[in-house]
Structure 1
């Protein structure tokens, strides 16, 4: 059986674990831990507080700082209400395409890492090689955040990180951050005929949305010179506004789901500072003039920093050498790479499959893309 055939078989195993972010990933982590331990890796399984989620770190070579980290997330997005033509958790191959939830995002990269691991382990000499498989990337990069916090505490870090998100094996050196929030408004219910006696949570939420839209326009003027992103400025999106239940009742509760995708972290600080001042100086005084118990609370879902293009990035340069790429790219979607970069790790995104198939019904990856990924890992072995 060829290395590619072995990778396809392992990918089929991985797809059979329905590791949707809302559910546990323990079974797929257990499978990967057993496979890597059998190859001689040092295994560390890091559980979250619930005990139902875990990261896996499998290390070859010496202990200590430095070395390379190959990283992929084990969670996948839901399949509910999608028009799949077959069981999404049973991989199907047709005409060189491998269908199943997570094939490209991003269990294809993980399968390639597992099958390339014995070859890479043989080449490791004086620097550690880490295989890192995380939980809950799709819902805020929670596993990667926990890992970064642990590495900070231990005062150790790899030197380089390759995150194998689906890029069609293009070398990605930059992407925006992803900051997601819920802002909840608590007012005072009353009869619609006496609006001054209540605190209309929907109205105040609407004023907050108007402020977000104003900031959205202001951010265009803050576009960094030479920004390569599309669009080149930090964006804001209001995804949902919910509240109220009848046309003649003053609604006491409302909630906004919104996000921003910063080009630079300074833009995120600008937006948050403006909103905090607007709430404290304008909205809350008006609400509490009627009801002292009225409130506005923002809950952070995730604040994942972007991957900033750097003049010096050894991981980018390594990937360009391994893939033969003549240039690098910027993408709009987020990954765990910015978190690792925030730790001082040179990070790059490069992996098999297309983001156009990610999260879609009948998600797929091609054998050809897996082959290109294995080629990159084989060349990496020669350099280790």
Structure 2
């Protein structure tokens, strides 16, 4: 495991919070892979400040191969109480501390160590790698990269997304959409407040509708007992409006999301949200004709829902040395690969619930060792 730890030490040293450029870490990974004979495709974003990559090693003519997928960005550390330098790998006992150790540079390091071993081996099938950017802000990077996959390295026969699952095979997660509602009221002096339409009042009426919708989903919507929250959810994260206490606010903004089970169609959820916005607006328009709520969906990503009897499940279980499957609460990039018809599961070291996004994030040596062992079994499979 020495090489995995050496690589992880380098990876943690790159401050790749999503607000920063990730070009330095991508350059390091590209150089590492190219030096080992991989064919690497650099996939920049439109700004030139972010990039992902696809890489392949092995005989493309002899099968579609196995793809290992990860993201290179991490969540911020600002406002968190760290007892260690978050961008320096610190080892204490059986734990390795640093931002991204669990989510998900530990997995990236294990993949890169596998790449080195694979470069010294005769492969019967290709090893493929996908590293993205801006996953932590809504799977933004892979959405822009996904159209380049087939033309660059070809579609693999299976894909493993290495988000932290404690090395259990995850076959599902909910899809997500992020939305913004802009509520239009009427400004005026607060001494005459009832004569004007307070946009914050309009906003809170709409939030009430969203809460009622959530309650209905919990009672009457689809349910999947594999999830800790077994139904689709509506969550309001931000509400802002107003400029001064003595001014009736004419604008209020609500940021909210829905996370949906596969059985609840996102188009149906969005339609009900739009109906709620229209209903609240109409209730006010008799007295205030300009009352209006504009709803914009500004990001989304697909869920993952793999059948328990799918062929990839026992294959993944054999490689991970587990007999169980699970579903995870958090979103991943897996739905994008699944959407191309690639059998995909999520399986990686560390615990998202226990360590992900927290101060003093860490991964255990035991989890990394289990991941490296899975990589060895993947290598044996590719050797044939």
How far residue 308 of structure 1 moved from its aligned partner, in angstroms, is 0.7
What's the counterpart of residue 337 of structure 1? 334
How many angstroms apart in 2 are the aligned matches of 1:80 and 1:226? 35
What's the counterpart of residue 348 of structure 1? 345
1:206 matched to 2:200: no
How far residue 369 of structure 1 moved from its aligned partner, in angstroms, is 1.1
- Higher deviation after alignment, 34-43 or 307-316: 307-316
Distance 1:161 1:79, change over 3 A: same
Distance 1:169 1:269, change over 3 A: same
How many angstroms apart in 1 are the aligned matches of 2:154 and 2:33? 22
TM-score (norm 2): 0.92
What's the counterpart of residue 192 of structure 2? 194
1:237 matched to 2:235: yes
What's the counterpart of residue 53 of structure 2? 56
What's the counterpart of residue 321 of structure 1? 318
Q: Show CA shifts across 1:161-185 (max 9, x none).
A: 1011111111111111222222222
How far residue 190 of structure 1 moved from its aligned partner, in angstroms, is 1.0
- Higher deviation after alignment, 335-344 or 144-153: 144-153
How many angstroms apart in 2 are the aligned matches of 1:382 and 1:63? 17
How many angstroms apart in 2 are the aligned matches of 1:68 and 1:21? 28
Q: Show CA shifts across 1:326-354 (max 9, x none).
A: 11111211111122212211111111111
- Higher deviation after alignment, 153-162 or 356-365: 153-162
How many angstroms apart in 2 are the aligned matches of 1:155 and 1:278? 45
What's the counterpart of residue 310 of structure 1? 307
**Contact between 1:160 and 1:314, CA under 8 Å: does it hold in 2?**
no
**Contact between 1:199 and 1:291, CA under 8 Å: does it hold in 2?**
no
Unaligned runs of 5+ in 1: none
How far residue 150 of structure 1 moved from its aligned partner, in angstroms, is 3.3
- Higher deviation after alignment, 249-258 or 189-198: 189-198
**Contact between 2:7 and 2:109, CA under 8 Å: does it hold in 1?**
yes
Unaligned runs of 5+ in 2: none
- Higher deviation after alignment, 187-196 or 5-14: 187-196
What's the counterpart of residue 47 of structure 1? 44
1:124 matched to 2:130: no
- Partner SS for 1:302: strand
How far residue 233 of structure 1 moved from its aligned partner, in angstroms, is 0.8
- Partner SS for 1:194: helix
How many angstroms apart in 2 are the aligned matches of 1:220 and 1:297? 26
TM-score (norm 1): 0.92
What's the counterpart of residue 14 of structure 2? 17
How far residue 282 of structure 1 moved from its aligned partner, in angstroms, is 4.6
**Contact between 1:123 and 1:382, CA under 8 Å: does it hold in 2?**
no
What's the counterpart of residue 36 of structure 1? 33
What's the counterpart of residue 297 of structure 2? 300
